[in-house]
């Protein structure tokens, strides 16, 4: 209910260009919903607008009060192609750090109804090379709607490892070939980001020292 009824507050949030409220699937990109984990994707005009929301908005405070854990990834867009709700919401950043190696990926798609079974039958094969991959630091299957509108978020320790998985992994390459041959998406978007800090905590995930920041105090509006 908090995710559904957050929309009016988010639409009025200053500096917020784009947002998506999403649920999550179980581990290993299982389409079955995980009713305890939710995601909020936001694109901001400035980081000041983002901090104001996290530190002072009533909605953010409500989420915090209902959460046992919360983690926030701060990202700068490297590149993105495709559409999400008919637009590309990610503008390439002009302030990337060329010495920072960490990289994050968001992929999302709306799957054509007639291909749902074929798509989900193929997911375990396409993800085989992610199991026990030492370079994959964090991953989550998220989405706006179960089964039909899905997204993935992943954090890698360097772009070379990501590219090896994306372009040289046989299982993943076959999945891409299937996608191109069958055209099983109504809409899709692929994007890469440079993470520059991470706040909060998440069970089983050790935030890299170079990205970890201390929690900021919650401020109340007068």
Residues forming a β-bridge with 39: 22
pLDDT of 173 reads 63
Which regions of the chain does DSSP assign to beta strands (E)?
16-26, 30-44, 71-82, 103-111, 136-145, 149-156, 185-200
* pTM to 2 decimal places: 0.87
Asked whether the predicted pLDDT for residue 69 surpasses 50, the reply is yes
pLDDT of 180 reads 65
pLDDT band at 178 (very low <50, low <70, confident <90, very high): low
Q: Where are the domains of the chain?
A: 25-36+73-200
pLDDT of 129 reads 65
Class of 25-36+73-200 in CATH: alpha beta
Residues 6+ apart with CB under 8 A from 142: 22, 23, 24, 25, 39, 150, 151, 152, 153
Q: How many C-beta atoms surround the C-beta of residue 17 within 10 A?
A: 13
Of 31 and 169, the structure prediction assigns the larger pLDDT to 31
pLDDT of 116 reads 86
Q: What is the mean pLDDT of residues 126-142?
A: 82
Determine the Cα–Cα distance for residues 75 and 93; give it in Å rounded to an integer.
9
pLDDT band at 197 (very low <50, low <70, confident <90, very high): very high
Pairing of strands 103-111, 149-156: antiparallel
- What DSSP line would sit under 119-177, residue for residue? HHHHHHHHTGGGTT-TTEEEEEEEEEETTTEEEEEEEES-HHHHHIIIII-HHHHHHHH
Is 27 strand, coil or helix? coil
Of 185 and 122, the structure prediction assigns the larger pLDDT to 185
Determine the Cα–Cα distance for residues 158 and 18; give it in Å rounded to an integer.
27
Average pLDDT, the chain: 87
Tokens of 168: 């040289």
Is 44 strand, coil or helix? strand
pLDDT band at 2 (very low <50, low <70, confident <90, very high): confident
Give whole-number Cα distances, 192 to 90, 126, 195, in Å.
Answer: 10, 19, 10
Determine the Cα–Cα distance for residues 100 and 158; give it in Å rounded to an integer.
9
pLDDT of 117 reads 84
Query: What are the pLDDT digits (tens) for 38-68?
Result: 999 999 999 999 999 999 999 999 999 999 9
Query: What are the pLDDT digits (tens) for 7-28?
Result: 999 999 999 999 999 999 887 6
């Amino acid at each position: 209910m908090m995710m559904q009824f957050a929309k009016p507050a988010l639409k009025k949030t200053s500096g917020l260009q784009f947002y998506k409220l999403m649920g999550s699937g179980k581990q290993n990109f299982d389409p079955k919903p995980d009713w305890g984990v939710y995601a909020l994707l936001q694109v901001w005009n400035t980081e000041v607008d983002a901090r104001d929301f996290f530190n002072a908005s009533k909605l953010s405070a409500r989420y915090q009060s209902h959460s046992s854990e919360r983690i926030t990834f701060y990202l700068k867009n490297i590149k993105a192609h495709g559409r999400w709700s008919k637009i590309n919401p990610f503008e390439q950043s002009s302030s990337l750090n060329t010495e920072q190696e960490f990289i994050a990926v968001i992929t999302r798609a709306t799957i054509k109804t007639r291909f749902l079974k074929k798509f989900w039958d193929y997911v375990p094969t396409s993800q085989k090379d992610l199991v026990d991959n030492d370079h994959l630091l964090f991953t989550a299957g998220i989405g706006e709607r179960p089964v039909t509108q899905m997204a993935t978020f992943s954090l890698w320790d360097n772009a070379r490892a990501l590219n090896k998985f994306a372009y040289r992994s046989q299982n993943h390459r076959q999945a891409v070939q299937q996608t191109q041959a069958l055209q099983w998406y109504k809409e899709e978007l692929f994007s890469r980001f440079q993470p520059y800090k991470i706040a909060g905590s998440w069970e089983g995930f050790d935030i890299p020292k170079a990205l970890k920041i201390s929690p900021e105090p919650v401020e109340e509006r007068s």
